Structure 1
């Protein structure tokens, strides 16, 4: 029973040590009695018989084996304690049976559970005990050699056991450290993925909602005077909403997949910039696109970063630059670099439209632009996301007022990094 009291008692190491001590003691006493030399002819055998199975000798045998019961808690003191009755047995010329096995068991316990210094002292103690006991009788030199080999082999076995346990403990500790490191990496990867998805969602939602808001405002203005133009604006809003929903489903789909299926949906890139510029023109922002020079095919990550940068910059222009603003998008391929510049000449939102913002609450239009045409409202999460995208590929970003009025977003991507990433 793994959950009952008998099971817990059976798994107690002290119980096994006590049982081992009892077995060794009973075996030693049994051998001492079984091989009683009283049955031998008169002579030296009679003298041995008088000491071999006497109560004193049997008591000494039991005392020599009893320390085995505490071999895990105090192995070295128990080793020293066991040597006393063993030497006493040799002094009275009594047969110790297998009581000397206690010396080997306790020596192994010291070597297996204590440090090198104490284990060497234990080896010397066991050797000294054998020498003292051997001094009371005449023993062939071969027996001395065998005893020395047994003591050293037992000590080596104990040390090997200790080193093996230390090695296994080190492996377990290393495995735990690796598991903690992997868990930290997984948490960092999840945080990075959440941040990436948050950037994607912001770019998609901010762009499409901004365009839909502008289209809705235009439809509201001409609803009474030009219903046909208002209907076209509402159709554009409907198409833009469907496009936004499709992109959001692609992004959210990544969260619902365990593998890489969510990454298979095509992501926008530099090739989609003409369509983006056309969307902005339909929304009322006069936008032009120039591509100067030829360059290598960008890796998917950088291709998406360039598209999102232009998308966010044009969305900010549409929201903050004013109704008569114009925008220019320039992609310039240089030796080892790609420069992306988005400029506008906006002067700020129309003051007449500002009070209608935010559910009819007054909204300040003045002060929205810094001196020189800068826009104080353009430093939100979108530009933070752009900065993160650019820095991810080792690029440089400059955001601020444009000389002559307006606003400018300029980024420079090193193409050497792109080439290495593509390979």
Structure 2
């Protein structure tokens, strides 16, 4: 009987250790999968941002080419107009260089494969905050009404910054459609002399409660990561989280003037 009791205890201890080891192995495997998924999602988001910025830079280069042609054409007869064209080329090229360096900053340390731009892109202007009307129309087709509010005098924005701000609004609205379970949201764009403030708010359910549309409201989804990277690329400030009581709010502040870079 003593031998049987000792054997039973030893067997139980062994099984418990095997069970704990199995749980530890499963947890490590899940952690590795989550890290791999996060890296894959971040790589895809960086590639998408890089493609958009490539389109911006390509469009800027086409503008520079046209201005250079004008300067060359009028250099002899109208030197003042040629100087204005050359000055515009200088300003535009500095902005394009800043956009490219910002893009390389996003891609630093990441290996992305695939085409550099979309077919047919490169000469058409990229979307910006002026296209909020189109976003409102497209969102209405999903059953969610967007109430836009624009305050202040719009400053001169670089194409990349304008695209990044529009991308934040677009991703935030998609976040509302997927997770808020509401019929409307508010998009506010406020232009300050030195900054652009974007806010997207809704009255839907907050983080931690089931929305009926795929589970609790995420705070670290792929869209949130993409918005934060877009804002960080321009040295801005980003916040996303539940509002007091209920609802969710995404806030992004972009400095409207970027530090110049030398060619």
The 1:353/1:296 distance shift into structure 2, 3 A limit, reads closer
Aligned to 1:386: 227
How big is the shift at 1:390? 0.5
* 1:400 to 2:250 alignment: no
Aligned equivalents of 1:285, 1:391: Cα separation in 2: 28
Secondary structure of 1:397 counterpart: strand
Whether the 8 Å contact between 1:344 and 1:408 is mirrored in structure 2 is yes
Aligned to 1:412: 253
Q: Deviations over 1:230-268 (max 9, x none)?
A: xxxxxxxxxxxxxxxxxxxxxx763589xxx85323211
Whether the 8 Å contact between 1:270 and 1:307 is mirrored in structure 2 is yes
Aligned to 1:197: 47
Candidates 161, 164, 186, aligned match of 1:328: 186
Scaled by the length of structure 2, what TM-score is found? 0.52
1:164-203 superposed matches below 5 A: 196-199=46-49
Secondary structure of 1:198 counterpart: helix
Candidates 158, 178, 196, aligned match of 1:299: 158
Q: Deviations over 1:317-344 (max 9, x none)?
A: 001001x342100001123111100001
Candidates 231, 235, 254, aligned match of 2:116: 254
The 1:316/1:335 distance shift into structure 2, 3 A limit, reads same
Aligned equivalents of 1:384, 1:352: Cα separation in 2: 21
1:327-406 superposed matches below 5 A: 327-347=185-205, 365=215, 368=216, 375=217, 377-406=218-247
How big is the shift at 1:193? 10
- Bigger strand fraction: 2
1:96-115 superposed matches below 5 A: none
* 1:270 to 2:129 alignment: yes
- Bigger helix fraction: 1
Secondary structure of 2:230 counterpart: helix
Whether the 8 Å contact between 1:288 and 1:329 is mirrored in structure 2 is yes
RMSD: 3.5
Whether the 8 Å contact between 1:325 and 1:345 is mirrored in structure 2 is no
**Unaligned ranges ≥5, structure 2:** 1-41, 53-113
**Unaligned ranges ≥5, structure 1:** 1-191, 203-251, 355-362, 369-374
Secondary structure of 1:335 counterpart: coil
How big is the shift at 1:346? 0.7
Whether the 8 Å contact between 1:316 and 1:378 is mirrored in structure 2 is no
The 1:201/1:311 distance shift into structure 2, 3 A limit, reads farther
Aligned equivalents of 2:236, 2:149: Cα separation in 1: 21
Q: Deviations over 1:65-109 (max 9, x none)?
A: xxxxxxxxxxxxxxxxxxxxxxxxxxxxxxxxxxxxxxxxxxxxx
Larger relative contact order (CA 8 Å, sep ≥ 6): 2
Aligned equivalents of 1:403, 1:278: Cα separation in 2: 29
Whether the 8 Å contact between 2:206 and 2:246 is mirrored in structure 1 is no
Whether the 8 Å contact between 2:155 and 2:193 is mirrored in structure 1 is no
Aligned equivalents of 1:319, 1:284: Cα separation in 2: 11
Secondary structure of 2:244 counterpart: coil
The 1:272/1:287 distance shift into structure 2, 3 A limit, reads same
Secondary structure of 1:305 counterpart: helix
Q: Deviations over 1:38-73 (max 9, x none)?
A: xxxxxxxxxxxxxxxxxxxxxxxxxxxxxxxxxxxx
Q: Deviations over 1:256-311 (max 9, x none)?
A: 89xxx853232111111111012112211121001001021211100110111000
Whether the 8 Å contact between 1:292 and 1:332 is mirrored in structure 2 is yes
Secondary structure of 1:291 counterpart: strand
Aligned equivalents of 2:50, 2:188: Cα separation in 1: 23
1:312-327 superposed matches below 5 A: 312-322=171-181, 324-327=182-185
